[in-house]
């Protein structure tokens, strides 16, 4: 077993002050303004962000063989692909997909230095409109929550069909608790996390308003149901912090 990847995500170094500004994106969108500061936003807004990327890249580096394909759906600025590219020992095909042209442009720049040793393909495309190539491992971090609820099952089915037998699917989400007390507690701790990471209460409130009806969470049970319906087995919660969770599952082997 290879150790966990120790690489750090390489951010652009720009601080997320978007919700301090006079003009901020309402409703929230992954535009140029957001893409520029996204690496800092993710680090300060997603608990266990680096841990979850280390878990996913560590699993990928242990599971994938030379010539395997890894797909990252909703890859944003390419941080996870960059962590894998900088630590993997074999030649892989790494595919990233994101529908935001601004995210795509940053990912392309960030990953260009690895192109000589690794086959990296980036697509500026909508997951719901694009078919996926055959892959051994697919990841989707914090992207399902931005898709219409009714279309999320299509992603599970699409990923299942694209995976080789025994292939791995990992996804991370901000999930909803079916119990209002536990949901309120998770929200309370999450807002404390954001304050500890330098966001003011007004930034927190403005972003919450911007994300209303844009980021729509499902529950763990709903995601598990979608995974089972698509055919996945071995569904497990790999990491959990308040409302943030990383799930892992496999396609049936031969
Ligand atoms: C919260 S960010 C994902 C973060 C990234 N996976 C990470 O861990 O750093 C969500 C991303 O999903 C992308 N996205 C949203 N809807 C999409 C769709 N239908 N197809 C492709 N990408 C999509 C957005 O452009 C955005 O970059």
Could you tell me the domains of the chain? 26-250 (3.40.50.150)
Ligand 1 in contact with 9 (CB < 6 A)? no
Is residue 131 a contact partner of residue 105, using CB atoms and an 8 Å limit? no
* Top mutation candidate among 40, 99, 155 for ligand 1, by most atoms within 8 Å of CB: 99
In eight-state DSSP terms, residue 63 is H
pLDDT for residue 97: 98
In eight-state DSSP terms, residue 9 is P
pLDDT for residue 13: 74
CA–chain centroid gap for 52, Å, is: 9
Nearest CA to ligand 1 atom 10: 143
Q: Show the tokens assigned to 33.
A: 């303004």
Nearest CA to ligand 1 atom 18: 126
Residues 6+ apart with CB under 8 A from 193: 47, 242
CA of 1 relative to ligand 1 center, distance in Å: 30
In angstroms, rounded to a whole number, what is the distance separating the alpha carbons of residues 199 and 250?
37
**CA-wise closest residue to 55 among 80, 85, 38:** 80
- Ligand 1 atom nearest to 72, measured from its CA: 6
| pLDDT tens, residue order, the chain (254 aa) | 665 566 666 666 789 999 998 888 899 999 999 999 999 999 999 999 999 999 999 999 999 999 999 999 999 999 999 999 998 888 999 999 999 999 999 999 999 999 888 999 999 999 999 999 999 999 999 999 999 999 999 999 999 999 999 999 999 999 999 999 999 999 999 999 999 999 999 999 999 999 999 999 999 999 999 999 999 999 999 999 999 999 999 999 97
Angle (nearest 5°) at CA 236 between 181 and 182: 5
CA of 65 relative to ligand 1 center, distance in Å: 26
In angstroms, rounded to a whole number, what is the distance separating the alpha carbons of residues 171 and 212?
22
**CA-wise closest residue to 75 among 46, 47, 38, 41:** 38
Ligand 1 in contact with 126 (CB < 6 A)? yes
In angstroms, rounded to a whole number, what is the distance separating the alpha carbons of residues 221 and 25?
31
Is residue 249 a contact partner of residue 220, using CB atoms and an 8 Å limit? no
Q: Which residue has the tokens 């608790």?
A: 177
In eight-state DSSP terms, residue 242 is T
pLDDT for residue 3: 58
**Cα separations in angstroms, 29 against 97, 114, 253:** 17, 29, 39
Ligand 1 in contact with 98 (CB < 6 A)? yes
């Amino acid at each position: 077993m290879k150790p966990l990847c120790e690489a750090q995500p390489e951010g652009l170094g720009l601080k997320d002050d978007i919700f301090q500004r006079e003009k901020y994106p309402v409703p929230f969108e992954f535009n140029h303004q957001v893409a520029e500061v996204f690496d800092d936003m993710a680090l300060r807004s997603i608990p266990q962000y680096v841990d979850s990327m280390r878990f996913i890249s560590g699993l990928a580096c242990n599971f994938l063989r030379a010539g395997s394909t890894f797909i990252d759906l909703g890859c944003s600025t390419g941080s996870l692909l960059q962590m894998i590219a900088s630590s993997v020992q074999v030649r892989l095909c790494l595919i990233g997909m994101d529908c935001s042209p601004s995210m795509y442009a940053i990912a392309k720049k960030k990953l260009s230095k690895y192109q000589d040793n690794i086959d990296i393909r980036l697509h500026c495309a909508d997951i719901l409109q694009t078919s996926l190539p055959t892959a051994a491992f697919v990841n989707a971090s914090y992207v399902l929550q931005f898709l219409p609820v009714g279309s999320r099952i299509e992603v599970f089915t699409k990923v299942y069909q694209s995976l080789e037998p025994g292939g791995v699917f990992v996804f991370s989400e901000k999930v909803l608790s079916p119990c209002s007390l536990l949901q309120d507690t998770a929200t309370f701790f999450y807002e404390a996390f954001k304050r500890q990471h330098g966001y003011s209460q007004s930034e927190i409130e403005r972003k919450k308003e911007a994300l209303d009806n844009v980021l729509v969470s499902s529950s763990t049970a709903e995601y598990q149901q979608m995974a089972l319906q698509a055919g996945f087995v071995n569904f497990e919660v790999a990491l959990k912090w308040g409302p943030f969770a990383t799930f892992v599952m496999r396609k049936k082997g031969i």
